[in-house]
Homo-oligomer: A and B are copies of this chain.
Amino acid sequence: MKDNLIITIGRQFGSGGREIGKYLAEMLNLNYYDKELILEASKASGLCTECFERVDEKAPNRFFNALSKGWLSGASGMPSGGWSDEMIFKVQSDVIRDIADKHNAVIVGRCADYILRDYKGCVSVFIHAKEEDCVRRIIERNSGMGESEARDLAQKRNKIRAAYYNFYTDKVWGDGATYDMCINSSAIGTKAAAQLIAEFVRQRGLIE
């Protein structure tokens, strides 16, 4: 069986990781998964979209609630009346593996690099940027938001992403050695970062 090309992107909040993922998908003709992944997972499992958004990286309180209640730590950790966060993570992981089996794809977030760590065609990337650039991007996306609020939001989201990743994997979110390649998007911009990742994939022999 041919190994599909999968590029996973972890990223600091506001670092332009999603933008880079979209450039890459366009440049190399790959499918792109981000929020869409959650929807696809919902459909495949028959679970409601809301269930997935509950443990999505963007739902810090619920995630930490789950952590503090120990829902995530045991195989039988299903809270009464719903799916446990761990079970939802399991379904998401199955969906990610299913995508990797069927498509060439860019997958942003959701521990995809770890879930696909044994896939030969998988390249894992982490994007970060100067705080001022992250703040600028966050403000552009949220009209009316002030600088200090955007800075706080970035810090909180990064903490959540790190906690989520470090809980579900045996690696460290944002650590250089966790990924095949990390790039400071502030240094070269998002388009050049995407080109550089494509060059890495080429050097790996995964594309011509």
Contacts and interface: CB of A to CB of B under 8 A. Distances in A.
Interface of A: 12, 123, 126, 128, 174-184, 187-189, 192, 195-196, 199-200, 203-204
A155 B2 CA distance: 36
A189 B202 CA distance: 12
16 contacts: A123-B187, A126-B182, A174-B175, A175-B175, A175-B176, A176-B176, A176-B178, A176-B182, A181-B181, A181-B184, A181-B187, A182-B182, A187-B204, A192-B203, A196-B196, A199-B199
A208 to B, nearest CB: 15
Contacts of A203: 188-189, 192, 195-196
Contacts of A123: 187
A123 B182 CA distance: 13
A199 B192 CA distance: 10
A126 B179 CA distance: 12
A144 to B, nearest CB: 28
Contacts of A128: 176-177
Contacts of A174: 175-177
Nearest to A191: B203
Given A123-B187, A176-B179, A179-B184, 15 more contacts: A12-B177, A128-B176, A128-B177, A175-B175, A175-B176, A176-B176, A177-B182, A177-B184, A180-B187, A181-B181, A189-B203, A192-B203, A196-B196, A196-B200, A199-B199
A126 B199 CA distance: 18
Contacts of A189: 203
B179 A181 contact: no
Contacts of A199: 196, 199
